[in-house]
Amino acid sequence: MAQLWGGRFTKETDQLVYNFNASISFDRRLYAQDIKGSIAHVMMLARQGILTEEEEEQILGGLQGILNDVQSGKLEITEEYEDIHSFVEAALISRIGDAGKKLHTGRSRNDQVALDMKLYIRDEIEALDTLIQELLLAVLAVMKENVDTYMPGFTHLQKAQPITLSHHMGAYFEMFKRDHERLRDIYRRMNTCPLGSGALAGTTYPLDRMYTAKLLGFDGPALNSMDGVSDRDYLIELLSALSMVMMHLSRFSEEVILWNSNEYQFVEIDDAYSTGSSIMPQKKNPDIAELVRGKTGRVYGALQALLTTMKGIPLAYNKDMQEDKEWVFDAVDTVKGCIALFTGMLKTMEFRKDRMEESAKQGFTNATDAADYLVNHGVAFRDAHGIVGQLVLLCIEKGMSMNDLPLSEYQAVCPVFEEDIYEAVSLKTCVDKRITTGAPGRDAMCEMIAACQAYMDAY
């Protein structure tokens, strides 16, 4: 047990209490951020004349040495310290002596930990954003290659109208695009520096908070010291944004699992991204997609947990807030892993264009277009709907599709039909006639792909 705060105590902390209270087992991952924050703090203290230049030099040298040694594995972060802040300070004092004892001047672990988490989250947002960029590029590649790959579009998991694979992928592009924007938005809003908030009420030293904020790449200092130490909104926002990423990945995974099934065979997941069964030799399972779908619950759980932890906390810092870390770390790790794995799976997946097109031809996906044909020949839509409904029934009885039904049968139900009905209900026509913005028609889709490409160019 090595603590920073022994002075006021007459008894040793109970070992179980110590263990319960300690956070070093998980906040050790913040060591680089903790040192970076200390470096900025010390530079500011020296600039303000609170530390001498010599002290500054000694402390900065010491901190840099600790950073290098932890990174190279020469210095091990041991669990005899309560948290990462105590560890760094103790290591500094043991290396440089008395000057090290001045590091914590004008600072509390409360503003320190708030800073560390913000620095960490900023880095992780960048990393997540790069992963989302790769995912978007993979989705866009499938879009570009499949402008003419026809497939059924579904509602209620029933075949509805023909679309293209390009169009279907375009929906996911929009989802992940919004995820990217949400992350940028969180970054922008959270980018204020807690340092200088002290324990809760600022400090009596003439700190230059603007300077530290600038050194650390923040837009400015947090404007209320009590909020500065106890704001965890950005973590909740992040968990919410990550939950949304997982929801999107999970829906996509569900479709991959369905499409990869023996019944659909719309896609074949690459061997490198599939797993086998220990008993059934024929099996090739979509475990990666299933795990991504499954891990969604874990990330939602983190969001619920932190929302609940924060709901009853009076101002300002309370130890409850230490509970933010494990949830956030786990969620960040999980989402990063899921995006990377999913992207790899998508890039190597084979799309069975023949199966998709065959499926689109079945199931009357062109029924709406047959009704539209009648509307274009002067029949009111509601009447046209009824007429085509009768034709569908007829086709089902005869085991035929609308493309094969003889013209005489069409005309027996409604004399408006002519030979050109076959052209009107062909897959190509059904898709290419849908040219409004956002629709699957070739022209609209090509425009959309160009817009997506421009978005990626400016990413």
Active-site residues, by number, are 156, 277
Looking only at the bridges linking them, the beta strands covering 350-351 and 220-221 are unpaired
**Rounded distance between C-alpha atoms, residue 80 and residue 133, angstroms:** 41
- CB-wise, 5 or 381, nearer to ligand ARG? 5
The sign of the CA dihedral 184, 188, 189, 193 is positive
CB of 324 to ligand ARG, least distance (A): 7
CB of 82 to ligand ARG, least distance (A): 7
- CB-wise, 95 or 109, nearer to ligand ARG? 109
**Rounded distance between C-alpha atoms, residue 330 and residue 337, angstroms:** 11
- Cβ pair 108, 229 in contact under 8 A: yes
- CB-wise, 23 or 212, nearer to ligand ARG? 23
CB of 459 to ligand ARG, least distance (A): 34
5 to 34: interface string for ligand ARG, x by CB under 6 A: ------------------x---x-------
**Rounded distance between C-alpha atoms, residue 151 and residue 218, angstroms:** 48
- CB-wise, 188 or 319, nearer to ligand ARG? 319
60 to 99: interface string for ligand ARG, x by CB under 6 A: -----------------------x----------------
| 203 is a contact residue toward ligand ARG (CB under 6 A) | no
- CB-wise, 321 or 424, nearer to ligand ARG? 321
Residues 106-125 that bind ligand ARG (CB under 6 A): 109-110, 113
CB of 26 to ligand ARG, least distance (A): 9
Strand spans (E) along 77-168: 150-155, 158-164
Of 430, 453, 458, 350, the C-alpha closest to 163 is 430
CB of 92 to ligand ARG, least distance (A): 17
- Cβ pair 106, 47 in contact under 8 A: no
- CB-wise, 230 or 253, nearer to ligand ARG? 230
Judged by CB under 6 A, the residue of 256, 321, 360, 414 near ligand ARG is 321
Neighbour count for residue 136 (Cβ, 10 Å): 22
Of 286, 266, 267, 262, the C-alpha closest to 276 is 286
Judged by CB under 6 A, the residue of 192, 275, 285, 322 near ligand ARG is 322
b/e map 299-309, b = 16+ CB within 10 Å? bbebbebbeeb
**Rounded distance between C-alpha atoms, residue 361 and residue 358, angstroms:** 5
Of 434, 459, 439, the C-alpha closest to 130 is 459
CB of 318 to ligand ARG, least distance (A): 9
- CB-wise, 22 or 140, nearer to ligand ARG? 22
- CB-wise, 252 or 317, nearer to ligand ARG? 317
**Rounded distance between C-alpha atoms, residue 19 and residue 52, angstroms:** 38
- Cβ pair 61, 6 in contact under 8 A: no
The sign of the CA dihedral 196, 201, 205, 206 is positive
Q: How far, rounded to the nearest angstrom, does the alpha carbon of residue 118 sit from its chain's CA centroid?
A: 18
Chain residue at closest Cβ approach to ligand ARG: 322
**Rounded distance between C-alpha atoms, residue 449 and residue 140, angstroms:** 7
Q: What's the CA dihedral at 285, 288, 289, 295 to 10 degrees?
A: 130
CB of 67 to ligand ARG, least distance (A): 20
Of 433, 415, 437, the C-alpha closest to 424 is 433
- The stretch near ligand ARG (CB under 6 A) out of 237-245, 315-323, 375-383, 417-425 is 315-323
Number of residues that bind ligand ARG (CB under 6 A): 11
- The stretch near ligand ARG (CB under 6 A) out of 105-113, 217-225, 263-271, 400-408 is 105-113
The footprint of ligand ARG (CB under 6 A) covers: 23, 27, 83, 109-110, 113, 317, 319, 321-322, 325
